[in-house]
Amino acid sequence: MSLLKGFDGRDPARIGQELHRFAAELFPICRSITGNGIRQTLAIIGRRIPLKILEVPTGTPVFDWSVPKEWNIQDAYIKAPNGRRVIDFQASNLHVLNYSTPVHATMPLSELKPHLHTIPEHPDWIPYRTSYYKEDWGFCLSHREMLSLQDGDYEVCIDSTLENGHLTYGECYLPGRSNEEVMISCHACHPSLANDNLSGLTVATFLADSLCRCDLRYSYRFLFIPGTIGAITWLARNQEMIRHIRHGLVLTCIGDKGRFHYKKSRQGDAEIDRVAAHVLKHDGDSHEILEFSPYGYDERQYCSPGFNLAVGCLMRSVWGSFPEYHTSADNLAFIQPERLADSLRVCSAIVDVLEGNQRYRNLNPCCEPQLGRRNLYRPVNADAIGEEIHARLWVLNLSDGENALLDIAERSGIPFSVIREAAQLLCQSGLLSVIQDNVWIGNGRGVASKEHKVKQS
Ligand SMILES: [Zn+2]
């Protein structure tokens, strides 16, 4: 299979518009780490891909944490002394401190002010603030709006509930020939924020959709979870199957116009780290590879020392590094259709490399086989040999059972897709044979093959 070929056969502008439309459909929903917002979001994702929705009760212990109370909100406002709603949750769900406890009171401005959050440096933007683990209430508003509030008594209402319920997450599992897995994880817990949360889950949904139609080597598990507590909960509930995760990627902040950043896994030299670096290197645009650090998104949990999974994080602009981050300016205009499409393309290329990175054996290893008589060499009238012929020579030379195609691509400097095509052609010509991933298939208790043990040691 080649996802990239399927992708390149379509109009990227149209793909970008579809992605952006999907993000726009999800944008107005007031999401949080629990509650009906994330349920609604998962229901919409579930219309596109096979999604299992799971509910974990409040109070369930998950490692050093426990599943929090469920939060839901109907309405919230601040009414000025003249009775006008000056802050209205219906206008923007960012106006409420996410996880605010219910309140309905009248108070002077001086008493209200400690509950108001603004960004003085960006006086027109509403900040996004949360108080998940400390019961509190508050409002977020533009600094300009706050400065315009006159002294007097304000009616404050947050019509929310914080009570025993569930933490909800979604899982899309696509079985492949092997029970070893590629995990794609994204957080789905932010309210109306586009780049931080919606870009990742939009691209993940479309990637899963395109994989649904493929014959897959690996099995794929897409997780749509609340940040931090969702990943911790998922890991706590899935400790038995974690050993099947061979590669993983956290997707976030991939809709803005910034260049790509890939943050390596804690292992630092995992196959996914090399695959992401290779794809970005040959992608043409500038990019940056970041070393692992124990802060960021859910790779923090997947890469905690008890798991140390090979999970990296793909972003465009890095969280926290752009002024729009966690503000109302991270909106649908901040993510661009062509950037979303390009991010989906890069993810497709990463999947292609993971799927195709197998080892082969040269069946004619003593001296070069005569490519000319097999129509695999340059035409008689050509002076130089092209990249595709170099690729055939590299594949033949390094296919001694030790090197996988990515090793060959890296050493030759030739893009993986060209190396892979060369390998497929040489196989058809009877000069090469694939070394099968021979043991993982079937019972869910596969152990790494002898060949893999050699490679990993
Ligand atoms: Zn965030």
| Rounded distance from Cα 135 to ligand 1 centre (Å) | 20
Instruction: Please give the Cα distance from 398 to 36 (Å, whole number).
Output: 54
Confidence tier at 256 by pLDDT (50, 70, 90): very high
What number is the average pLDDT over the span 28-43? 98
| Rounded distance from Cα 88 to ligand 1 centre (Å) | 22
Q: What pTM value is reported for the model?
A: 0.94
pLDDT digits (tens, 9 = 90+) for 337-384: 999 999 999 999 999 999 999 999 999 999 999 999 998 987 766 667
Confidence tier at 415 by pLDDT (50, 70, 90): very high
Confidence tier at 5 by pLDDT (50, 70, 90): confident
Instruction: Please give the Cα distance from 331 to 41 (Å, whole number).
Output: 17
DSSP one-letter string for 268-280: SS-HHHHHHHHHH
| Rounded distance from Cα 337 to ligand 1 centre (Å) | 21
**Residue written as token pair 């054996």:** 361
What number is the average pLDDT over the span 96-121? 98
What number is the average pLDDT over the span 137-146? 98
Q: Is the pLDDT of residue 69 over 50?
A: yes
Q: Is the pLDDT of residue 47 over 90?
A: yes
pLDDT at residue number 450:
37
| Structure token digits, residue 432 | 């090469």
| Rounded distance from Cα 285 to ligand 1 centre (Å) | 25
Instruction: Please give the Cα distance from 269 to 29 (Å, whole number).
Output: 39
| Rounded distance from Cα 326 to ligand 1 centre (Å) | 6
Cβ-contact 29, 40 below 8 angstroms: yes
DSSP one-letter string for 142-174: -HHHHHTPPSSEEEEEEEEEEES-EEEEEEEEE
- For residue 250, what are the β-bridge partners? 185, 313
| Rounded distance from Cα 320 to ligand 1 centre (Å) | 8
Confidence tier at 440 by pLDDT (50, 70, 90): very low
Mean pLDDT value across the chain = 94
| Rounded distance from Cα 44 to ligand 1 centre (Å) | 21
| Rounded distance from Cα 329 to ligand 1 centre (Å) | 13
pLDDT at residue number 170:
98
What number is the average pLDDT over the span 322-332? 98
What number is the average pLDDT over the span 177-206? 97
| Rounded distance from Cα 94 to ligand 1 centre (Å) | 13
Confidence tier at 447 by pLDDT (50, 70, 90): very low
Instruction: Please give the Cα distance from 350 to 313 (Å, whole number).
Output: 12
Q: Is the pLDDT of residue 446 over 50?
A: no
Q: Which residues contact 113 (CB under 8 A, 6 or more apart)?
A: none
| Rounded distance from Cα 15 to ligand 1 centre (Å) | 25
pLDDT at residue number 380:
66
Percent of the chain with pLDDT over 90: 89
Q: Is the pLDDT of residue 328 over 90?
A: yes
Residue 197 DSSP symbol? I
Would you say how long the chain is, in residues? Answer: 457
Q: Is the pLDDT of residue 265 over 70?
A: yes
pLDDT at residue number 443:
38
Residues with a beta carbon under 5 angstroms from ion ligand 1: 196
pLDDT at residue number 142:
98
| Rounded distance from Cα 339 to ligand 1 centre (Å) | 19
> 153-163 and 166-174: which strand pairing?
unpaired
| Structure token digits, residue 172 | 């899309």
| Rounded distance from Cα 229 to ligand 1 centre (Å) | 13
Instruction: Please give the Cα distance from 404 to 450 (Å, whole number).
Output: 15
| Rounded distance from Cα 269 to ligand 1 centre (Å) | 27
| Rounded distance from Cα 213 to ligand 1 centre (Å) | 32
| Structure token digits, residue 288 | 């940056």
Q: Which residues contact 213 (CB under 8 A, 6 or more apart)?
A: none
| Rounded distance from Cα 197 to ligand 1 centre (Å) | 7
Q: Is the pLDDT of residue 456 over 90?
A: no
Which of 189-193, 348-352, 360-364, 448-452 bottoms out in mean pLDDT, i.e. has the lowest?
Answer: 448-452
Higher per-residue confidence, 5 vs 150: 150
| Rounded distance from Cα 169 to ligand 1 centre (Å) | 17
> 359-362 and 432-434: which strand pairing?
antiparallel
Which of 2-16, 81-95, 254-268, 324-338 bottoms out in mean pLDDT, i.e. has the lowest?
Answer: 2-16
Q: Is the pLDDT of residue 325 over 50?
A: yes
| Rounded distance from Cα 189 to ligand 1 centre (Å) | 8
Higher per-residue confidence, 16 vs 285: 16
| Rounded distance from Cα 313 to ligand 1 centre (Å) | 14
For 48-156, where are the alpha helices, taking DSSP H only? 109-112, 143-147
Amino acid (1-letter code) at residue 455:
K
pLDDT at residue number 48:
98
| Rounded distance from Cα 317 to ligand 1 centre (Å) | 13
pLDDT at residue number 144:
98
Which of 165-169, 377-381, 446-450 bottoms out in mean pLDDT, i.e. has the lowest?
Answer: 446-450
Cβ-contact 318, 397 below 8 angstroms: no
| Rounded distance from Cα 401 to ligand 1 centre (Å) | 44
What number is the average pLDDT over the span 185-189? 98
What number is the average pLDDT over the span 169-185? 97
| Rounded distance from Cα 67 to ligand 1 centre (Å) | 19
pLDDT at residue number 283:
86
Q: Which residues contact 52 (CB under 8 A, 6 or more apart)?
A: 170, 171, 172, 173
State the sign of the Cα–Cα–Cα–Cα dihedral 53, 178, 405, 312: positive
What number is the average pLDDT over the span 111-121? 98
Confidence tier at 6 by pLDDT (50, 70, 90): confident
| Rounded distance from Cα 193 to ligand 1 centre (Å) | 8
Q: Is the pLDDT of residue 7 over 90?
A: no
| Rounded distance from Cα 282 to ligand 1 centre (Å) | 29
| Rounded distance from Cα 452 to ligand 1 centre (Å) | 37
Q: Is the pLDDT of residue 401 over 50?
A: yes
| Rounded distance from Cα 172 to ligand 1 centre (Å) | 22
User: ∠ at Cα 372 (367, 378), nearest 5°?
Assistant: 110
